[in-house]
Structure 1
């Protein structure tokens, strides 16, 4: 089902269509909605209707990164090597 935004496609609708066409198209198809503006308006009202429970749905996914000891060691060694080239810098060891 192609995504349509009616005769006057707004900038927001065009941006949504460009960034998230599969997800929005699926949601619109499942609900039988043909206008992006209508789909977005309904989603906003439904999320608002959930009250503070909607917060979890609007939080972007976060990725946790764990730096390995090998990477830490290599970074430190290369940093110390760089400091040797510019002896004006001081070394502050972590506590």
Structure 2
């Protein structure tokens, strides 16, 4: 007699449990999906999980120091022009003055 879908699902669930498989889920924004699509294209992967597993394995193979360097988020330097800095200072000073006057009431 053929197995039912329920029987097949239970068998798959048991094999996954016996193998120690764990399902990982997380939500990402569109920018990350674009990066993922590029990585999949570069690595000629057709499945996201395959791409992620390959990335994890290769990053781990780099070793602690080289892998740690990859986990540093890019930092952007913010430079304000003198005009913008002056305007921010003036608005902050005005706001501080307003707060002081309001506190006195």
- TM-score above 0.5: yes
Q: Name stretches of at least 5 consecutive residues in structure 1 with no aligned partner.
A: 1-8, 90-95
- Identify which of structures 1 and 2 has the higher relative contact order when contacts are C-alpha pairs closer than 8 Å and 6+ apart: 1
What is the alpha-carbon distance in structure 1 between the residues aligned to residue 81 and residue 89 of structure 2? 12
Task: Please say which structure displays the higher CA radius of gyration.
Answer: 2
Provide the TM-score with structure 1 as the length reference: 0.57
Q: How many correspondences in the alignment?
A: 79
Unaligned 5+ segments in structure 2 are: 1-22
Alignment of 1:1-95 (within 5 A): 11-12=25-26, 15-16=27-28, 18-51=30-63, 52-85=65-98, 86-87=100-101
Identify, as 1 or 2, the structure richer in helix.
Answer: 2
What do you get for the CA RMSD once the two structures are aligned?
3.0
